[in-house]
Structures are given as C-alpha cells and as structure tokens.
Structure 1
Amino acid sequence: MIVITAPTGNIGRHLLTRLLESEPGTGEELRVIARDPARLTQEVRERVDVVTGSHGDPEVLDRAFAGADAVFWLVPPDASLTPHDGFSGFTLPAVRAFATHGVRHVVGVSALGRGTPLADEAGLVTASLKMDDLIAGSGVAYRALANPSFFENLLEEVESIRDKGVFVDVVEPDRKGPLVSVADIAAVAAGLLVNRSWTGVDSVPVLGPQDLSPNDVARIMTEQLGRPVRYERQPFDELYTTLIGYGLDDTFVQGIVDMKRAKDAGLDAGVTRTRATASPTSFEQWCARVLKPAVLG
C-alpha cells in the first residue's frame, strides 16, 4: 500500500497519474489523503482508496497509514505559519504515525542546499531540511527529493508575461542555476515508491537537464512564445513589502526572502549534475507544452 499526500497538487497529481498507469502490473494498492476529494476525477476516485481530511491531522493519518508500507510526503505551503511550524510542526504527527503503523518507506519533497554554508540561513529551505532530519530520525527508510526551483513557478507570472512581456524575480540576471519540471520530480518519486529495495536515509537531487539564468529563461520564452519577454530584477526589500501587503505571516515572508537570497548566492549550486541527478524535461519542452498554452491560449 502506497499513501499519497497532496494528490491534487502540482507534484502529487503527476505522481498519482504515473502510479495509476503502473498499478495494473504491480498489484500495488493506492490510497490518497485529500481535503476535497471532489478535486479528484471520478476515474481516480474509483481506483484509489480516498481518506478525506488534512494530512496534518493525527486522526486522518491514523486512518490513512493503517496497512501502509510507503508514503509520499509533501508539506503544503501555509503562509499563516512560521517556517518551522509549517514544515516540522506539520510533519510531527506523521512521524509518530509512521512508527505506530509500521510505515517502512517515505519519499519526501525537499530542497537543495544540505551541507552548504548557506543552508542554515536559507529560510524555507532551512525549515525543509530540518523536516528531513525529523523524518530521518523516525527510523523509516527515507529519500528526500532535493529540488531546485520549479519551472511551474513561472505560471504565477502568466498575466505579466502576456500583458507586459515581463517576468520578475530577485535573482541576479546572469546567475545560472538548476530548474526542474514538477513532472520530472513526480517521475523520480514514482520510481522510488514502486521499487522499494532501498534502505537508510539519503537525498535524491532532481536537477533538470541544464542550468539556466533568468536571462536564459527570458530568451527561451521569447523563442517559444514568438514575442519578446524580458526579465526584471526586483529588490529583496520590495519583495518583502509586497508579500507583507498580502497579509502573510511576517516570519513566513522572511523565510521566502531568505530562501531567495540564499539561492541568489548559489545555494542550489552545490550538487554536480550527473546522469543520475539530471532529469529529462528541458525548459524549451516545458514552455511548448505548458507555458505557451497558458499565455497564448
């Protein structure tokens, strides 16, 4: 039995699709935890066991983890909480439930940066790495998917790209770093969940096929969209002020700013891309499949 948290999110929905495609040949049972099962398709609801509720709720976890061997763990962002409460606080009931129900394998969504000098001052990334330590200390076999920033973050900029030909971030324009598609992260997670011969604790970097700078991203978007797109760098204090203006928790906002500052200083550059750590989807492919329809459709 594999339990999937956040099955309707960016990564979870791709993971669920992959596992359902492989399920007939493996005989693996699937269970999902969903706040709103109506967001799952009827076909999915007919093929998986659905536990309704939040995976931060101990009672929900007790129902969901009963009989489970493996869990896909993803903490949903909650801007009303501090980074520590949002990651470790949310995860603590799951750690207890792993032991109670004898869960043996956990695959979690985490971040790059472990072992680098920047990791202790990287805001949300620091909180994510501490969550990994919490899970690793529970006795389960654990694989933390160490991810850079996602291509999909650019979907938040669709209106600006469409109307102004501009996308905004705080990273230095020529700072190259890894970027990845959420579908590639889901593919790695699926492989680990289906083939559970691994033991112990480790990180699994998922780095995409190449490093890109914001200027590289702008150039590729221009080529793929057939219209000019440029990058505009936002000051860190302006980002902080903008996010606070949305009414978000100030420590959560500071966590975002500290994370982005660390990435701008090279947080994601500590892992060498190899055949094992590279993932296949290029930014050009993602633009054609996902961004272009969103901007021009």
Structure 2
Amino acid sequence: MHVVTTPTGQIGRQVVEGLLRAGEPVRVIVRDPSGLSAEVRERVEVVRGSHRELDACMEAFAGADTLFWVVPPTPRADSVVGYYEDSTRAACRAIGARGVKRVVTVSTAGHGIETNAGHLSASLAKDRMIEETGVSFRALQATAFMENLLWQTEAIRHQGAFFWPQPADRVLPVVATRDIAAKATELLLNASWDGRGGVPVVSPDALTPDGMARVVSEVLERPVGYRQLSLDAYREAMIGHGASEAWAQGLVDMAVAQNDGAYDEHHRTAVPSPTGFRQWCEEVLRPAFLA
C-alpha cells in the first residue's frame, strides 16, 4: 500500500496518477475528497483529515509500505521552520508506530542552506525529523518550480512581463513538477532501496530569467520581458497577497540563498530530468495562458 499526501496538489496529484497507472493500491489523506477527480475517488482509499493530525496519520499509515510526504504551503504561518516541523511531527510518530518501510519527500536542492535560508532551511529541518525515525528515506532535492510562473499569467497578459527577485542575468535553475512526480513514483514503486539520502531533480536548462523571457515570448508569440524586484518590494508584494510577515521573510531569505548560488552545484552535477523549459512552456504555460 502506498500513502500519498497532498493528492490534490501539483505534485501529489501526479504521483497518485502514476501509481494508479502502475496498478498499485493507493491510500490518500485529504481534507475534502471532492477535490479528487471522480475516477481517482473510485480507485483509492480515502482517509479524510489533515496529515498534521496524528489520528489521520495513524489510520492512513496502517499496513502501508511507502509514504509520499509533502508539506503544503500555508502563507499565514507565523514561523516557517516551526510550521514545517509541526506539520511533520505527527507523521514521524506514525511512521514508527505503523512500521512504514520507505518514505519519499519533496525537499530542496542546495548547499549552505542549513540555516537562514527561509523555506529551504525549513525543508531540511523537516527532512532531519523524518531521518531520525530510522525509516528508509529519500529526499527529492528540487530546484525552483517552473510552475511558479503560472502565478504570473495575468502580469504577462496585462504588463507584458513577469517579476521575481532574482538577477536578470544569473542562471536560475528550475524544474517541472512532472519530473519531480515521476522520480517520486519511480522510487515508490522500487522496493529494493534502503538507507537515507537525497536525489537531485533538475532540468536540462541553464537559463537566466532574461533567457526564460525570450522563450516565453517565442512560445506565447508576444513580447514578454523580465523585471527584477527588489527584496523589499518582493516582501511587500507577498504580504499584499496575504502572506504573514514570517512567511514573506522566509521567501526573501530563500531568494537570497538562490541568488547566492545555493542550487549551483546540484544543477551542475546532477543527471538532468527530461522536461526542458521550452517544452514546459508549450505544454503547460501556453494552455494556461490561453485559457
């Protein structure tokens, strides 16, 4: 039995689909099962609740061989590291109590980010908690998501640009969530591994934000530019969209680490995943933009 958290999220949904295509039994933890497609609801076991709740984890992990673990964003949290740790505490108790054999989690690529790197440091803190249970464990070390650009379709449409706090001329490693989900599914289906370790997941590209803007312009067949936000402007924009002060500062600290080259070594040395940025723009961004 495979347990999947965040089954309606960008990555969790694709992991559920991959496991079902392989004919595997799947159990999901979800607050609102109506967020699952009718086909998925018919084929999975549903534990209704939050995976922050011990009772839900104990129920879901009973008889489970593998667990796919994701901490979903909660922009109103009053502590980034505290939120990641609180979100993982119940799972760690249930992993040991229920004898889960292997855990795969979405984590982060990067070096030198153990502290003061916002959400990157928080993700590593979550990984350490899972490792300490003694379960066989793999952390998918992902760079920034290509899907982050989907939040900017209206800016692209009305302002002809997208906005991030990264330098226009510095490579920003990104990866498609489909490749993260595919690697997670591969690991969940493989019963031969044990121990603990990280698995980098990076794209084959080495594009700067300016380079991404050129690709986006070509795919959307309209001029699209890139404009760098100052860190202060980025922080205020996140707060304006409903983030807490702590969450917004965590995003700023993450951006600083990215700008300082946190991802560079993994991006240079890891075996690249299949999806390039242009392919993602053609298959994901363009349909979203046109819709």
Assess same fold via TM > 0.5: yes
Partner SS, residue 117 of structure 1: coil
After TM superposition, list the pairs within 5 Å mapping 1:218-297 onto structure 2: 218-273=213-268, 277-297=271-291
Alignment CA distance shift 1:118-1:12 (3 Å): closer
Gaps of 5+ in 1: none
Structure 2 CA distance for partners of 1:187 and 1:213, relative to 1, 3 Å:
same
CA-CA distance at 1:247 after TM superposition: 4.1
Partner deviation per Cα, 1:52-98 (whole Å, 9 max, x = no partner) = 11111111111100110100000011122211222111101100000
Give how far 1:186 is off: 0.3
State the shift of 1:43 in Å: 1.2
Q: Counterpart in 1 of 2:143?
A: 148
Verify the 8 A CA contact 2:71 2:88 in the aligned structure 1. yes
**Does residue 174 in structure 1 map to residue 169 in structure 2?**
yes
Output aligned runs, 1:173-212, within 5 Å: 173-212=168-207
Contact 2:176 2:275 (C-alpha < 8 Å) held by counterparts: yes
Q: In the aligned structure 2, how far is the partner of 1:118 from the partner of 1:15? A: 27
Among 43, 47, 56, the residue aligned to 1:51:
47
Residues 3 and 65, structure 1, Cα contact 8 Å, conserved in 2: yes
Match of 1:103 among 86, 100, 120: 100
2:53 is equivalent to residue 63 of structure 1: no
Q: How far is 1:21 from its partner?
A: 0.7
Shift of 1:240: 1.2
2:10–2:177: 8 Å Cα contact kept in structure 1?
A: yes
Q: Could you state the TM-score of these two structures normalised by the residue count of structure 2?
A: 0.97
What are the equivalent positions in structure 2 for 1:73-88 lying under 5 Å apart? 73-81=69-77, 82-88=79-85
Does residue 1:123 correspond to 2:122, yes or no?
A: no
* Residue 119 to residue 173, structure 1, CA distance change in 2 (3 Å): farther
Asked whether the 8 Å contact 1:70–1:105 carries over to 2, the reply is yes
- Number of residue equivalences: 290
Question: Alpha-carbon deviation of 1:270?
Answer: 2.1
Q: Deviations over 1:193-245 (max 9, x none)?
A: 00121111100000011221101100100111111000000000111122223
Q: Is the 8 A contact 2:3 2:26 kept in 1?
A: yes
Q: Once the two structures are superposed, what CA deviation does each residue of 1:164-217 show, in whole Å capped at 9, x if it has no partner?
A: 210000101011132110001000000000012111110000001122110110
Contact kept, 8 Å, 1:204 with 1:277, in 2: the verdict is no
Distance between the aligned counterparts of 2:236 and 2:42, measured in 1?
46
RMSD, matched Cα: 1.2
Runs of 4+ in 1 over 6 A off after TM superposition: none
Contact 1:8 1:39 survives alignment (8 Å): yes
Are the equivalent residues in 1 in contact too, given 2:172–2:209 (CA < 8 A)?
Answer: no
